[in-house]
Structure formats: structure tokens, C-alpha cells
Structure 1
Amino acid sequence: MRSLPPQVPLPPRQGAAALLCLLATEAVSAGFPSPADDYVEGRIDLNVELIPRPLSTFFMRVSGDAMRGDGIVDGDLLVIDRSVDPRPGMVVVAVHAGAFLLRRLARRGTGLWLVASDGTSPPLVLTGDEGSGADGSGADLWGVVIHAVHHLAGAPSRRR
């Protein structure tokens, strides 16, 4: 992955407090319902669960709905790891025309493209180490999205 200077400062890691949340013993069924147990397994640290490599991990908010077909919408919170090797099929953050861009990495023929899932945004060619094409239509990879936090109705973001 091409190394670009970070656009946001690294979060503090020395002495960062653990974020402990309750963890239920049972998984929630997304198919046929199962009897619920009122037991709590213990606590999990969301820093450990969501941030496997703290020194290369960044958070970003989504602006726009170009990835709504993937369930990622305006206002969602992304966890991005710059150390993950990007592969086709992954959702990535790229830099295009000096701005961050959220797209899915896709292979088309011998090239790599950045494709939106809204059905209207045009795909962009992913450039190599030589930088953007002469017409400025290319983009460079910045990081791989490893988690997306999506706020559902009734549970608004604290930011809003």
C-alpha cells in the first residue's frame, strides 16, 4: 500500500483507559429465534475487539451515501487500518483529488478500480506508485475499513 502522510493525528495510546462493555453469553439469532438467557458472560474491551493494531488505526465519519448498497451511510463511524493489505472485495479509503473517498476495491481486467455501491457514482481507476493519471482521474489507497459502526433508529450518534 502506498504510504501517504496521515491526515489525522494518532489517538493517544499510552495509558489509554479500557472501554469495558457488557458481553452476553448468547449470540443473537438473525434467523430463527432462540430462547434468550439472562446471563452476562463478562466484559469486553472495545479497544481490543475493534482495534487490533492501534498504531495504524484511524477513525473517520462517513459523509454521503455512495456506499449505501453496502449498508454504509452518511454519519457512520469507520475503523480504518492502514496496515491491512488491500484485496479486491474490501471496502477501502482512497485519496482522490486531495480528498478522502470511500469505495469497494474491485478487479476489472488487469486493473484495480474503486467502485461505489449506490449505482450512480462512476468507478475510478486505482493508480500505482506513479500517482494519478494525467487527467487526475485516478486515486491512491490510504487504508482498509475493518469495521463500520452504523447507528440505527432510536440510537443516534452522540455527535448529532
Structure 2
Amino acid sequence: MDNVQKLDIPGARDTVEVDGVLGVFYKVRVGGQVVKRTKGGWAVPMRSGTTSKLSSRGILPGFQKIYLDDVPIYAIGAHVDTALRVLMFVPFVLIFLNPIVGLPLAVILFFMNVSVVKNPQMPRPVRIILPVVNTLVGALILFLLAGLLA
């Protein structure tokens, strides 16, 4: 799977692509040029002379749905199953070990896990094991820091 997804928008003047679909953050390109997000969406010029609005909705970073004039046309990260999406959140158990240092570490590991579970070139067992191993290493770091600071 490529990191760039061409969107099928009938009537668009140029090709519309989403760059970065395998990561956390993405950009919208129209005709090869990155379009800035304005007023909650991206303007897509149509052949008829009008402009359509491309927007995104979703809570999970990297797993939003793309809409064209309030009609869903693409779901970023739809290829990731529910079990892997749940595993992305495993680092948040570090907050219970040390809330002050555990929270920023958990957020960093969470964003790393998003990229890991969305990578279709990685074998499934690796996509399952890596979030757990990252969390265990994070816990080890917290225990070592607690020992050094005590």
C-alpha cells in the first residue's frame, strides 16, 4: 500500500490525493499542489466551475474519514482491524506507574504505535508484538528513572 491515496472524485478539475495515509498526519493535494485547510476543509475546484469542500471527521489520529460535501469517500486506516486499534492504546497503562512522566511517554508511544499498526508491509505478528514491547520498554524506563531519582 502506498502512502498516497488518490481520491475518486468525479467532476474534479485535477487529481485529488491524500498524502500520508499510513501515518498520523496527512496532507491533501489537488493537482500535485498541497492545499491549505480553510474553514474546516479543503477547496476542490470542479470542472463545472464550482468548488466542492473536502473535509475530515474522526477522533482517533490517523483514522479519520474524508468527506466530499458531507458524503464519505475514503476512510483513512480502514484496513486496520479493531484488535490492532485497541493495542495502540496499551502504552496508556504507563500513566498508572507514574502519572507525571508516564503521560508524555504514553502519548509518544501511542503515536509510534499508530504508524506501526497501519503499516501493511509489516507482518501481522510484528504489528501485534511491537506495541506491547514498546510499552514494556517504557515501563522499564519509568522504573529506572524512579530508581535513579529515589
**What is the TM-score of this pair, normalised by structure 2?**
0.26
Bigger CA radius of gyration: 2
Q: Whose RCO is larger (CA < 8 A, sep 6+)?
A: 1
**What is the TM-score of this pair, normalised by structure 1?**
0.25
